[in-house]
């Protein structure tokens, strides 16, 4: 199975690029984030023409997550259990409704439970959105731990834009990010807590060391200057991680006119694809 995750930064703006990339890269499952459209605006037909079934969760022009699969798409779940919400007008108070923002979507594809995740940004360390981010991650951690307790052999992939650079090797300048989100210790601890439940960052063994990034800001010539961050991940359960044969970033997709500010992350697994 070739599984990819990509923050496309508006699927309607990048549709031709995404479709061409899927055709070139022979992808079985693609998880997308920041689709930036409602469900009725998503271009399902184009993906169907390419042989993919698609599940999408989009409430408005912000956020949005999707999963496109050519190996089956079953048991679609809109958000994970007890997923916290956020009210931008509520100050420091959070809303405990199951889904307020379209940030998590699960589906079983070829026997693998795939979660497309768009972790809240956090904005600033003193912003209520930062507290929301940490609560969101803790709730995800609790669910991830429960899933593995229920079935230690489950093949689960937690993939997407995590908005966290878990180590200093994952940013172009630790000093630049000091006192900002994405690299703060509580965020890194939250990421590590999910890893500690048993999920593995499958790309790191194939791309060690600094300088391997998945995101480059559009401003300040960050991409040509190689000033990026590694904030997009494929975290795999033990049974799935053990089957990893390759993983990496397709940096070429950050190049050229109309590119997303993120590049796709692709992981390959030597597993038999279960019939849908």
Token pair belonging to 104: 């998590």
- Which residue intervals of the chain are DSSP H helices? 11-25, 44-49, 128-150, 174-177, 185-196, 238-241
Packed helices 185-196 and 128-150: angle between N→C axes, nearest 10 degrees: 10
Token pair belonging to 43: 């271009």
77 annotated to a ligand binding site = no
39 annotated to a ligand binding site = no
Nearby residues of 29 by Cβ (< 8 Å), 6 or more positions away: 1, 2, 3, 4, 67, 68, 69, 70, 71, 109, 110, 112, 114
143 annotated to a ligand binding site = no
| CA–CA distance, 211 with 26 (Å, rounded to integer) | 26
261 annotated to a ligand binding site = yes
246 annotated to a ligand binding site = no
The DSSP symbol for 274 reads: P
Helix (H/G/I), strand (E/B), else coil: 238: helix
Catalytic residue positions, numbered: 118, 161, 262
146 annotated to a ligand binding site = no
Token pair belonging to 262: 């993120």
Q: Which residues are annotated as a binding site for Mg(2+)?
A: 7, 34, 161, 163, 261-262
Q: Which residues are annotated as a binding site?
A: 7, 34, 161, 163, 261-262
């Amino acid at each position: 199975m070739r599984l990819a995750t990509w923050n496309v930064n508006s699927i309607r703006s990048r549709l031709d690029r995404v479709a061409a990339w899927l055709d070139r890269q022979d992808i079985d499952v693609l998880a997308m984030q920041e689709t930036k459209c409602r469900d009725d605006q998503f271009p399902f037909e184009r993906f169907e023409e390419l042989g993919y079934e698609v599940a999408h969760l989009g409430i408005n022009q912000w956020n949005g997550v999707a999963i496109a699969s050519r190996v089956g798409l079953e048991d679609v779940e809109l958000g994970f259990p007890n997923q916290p919400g956020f009210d931008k007008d509520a100050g420091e108070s959070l809303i405990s409704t199951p889904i307020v923002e379209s940030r998590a979507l699960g589906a079983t594809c070829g026997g693998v439970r795939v979660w497309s995740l768009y972790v809240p940004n956090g904005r600033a360390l003193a912003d209520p959105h930062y507290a929301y981010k940490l609560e969101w991650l803790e709730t995800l951690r609790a669910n991830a731990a429960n899933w593995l307790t229920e079935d230690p052999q489950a093949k689960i992939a937690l993939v997407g834009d995590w908005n966290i650079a878990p180590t200093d090797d994952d940013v172009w300048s630790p000093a630049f990010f000091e006192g900002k989100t994405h690299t703060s210790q509580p965020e890194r601890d939250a990421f590590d807590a999910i890893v500690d439940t048993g999920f593995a960052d499958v790309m790191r063994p194939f791309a060690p060391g600094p300088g391997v990034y998945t995101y480059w800001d559009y401003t300040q010539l960050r991409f040509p200057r190689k000033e990026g961050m590694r904030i997009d991940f494929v975290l795999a359960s033990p049974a799935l991680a053990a089957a990893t044969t390759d993983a990496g970033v397709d940096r070429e997709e950050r190049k050229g006119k109309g590119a997303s500010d993120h590049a796709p992350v692709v992981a390959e697994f030597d597993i038999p694809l279960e019939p849908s």
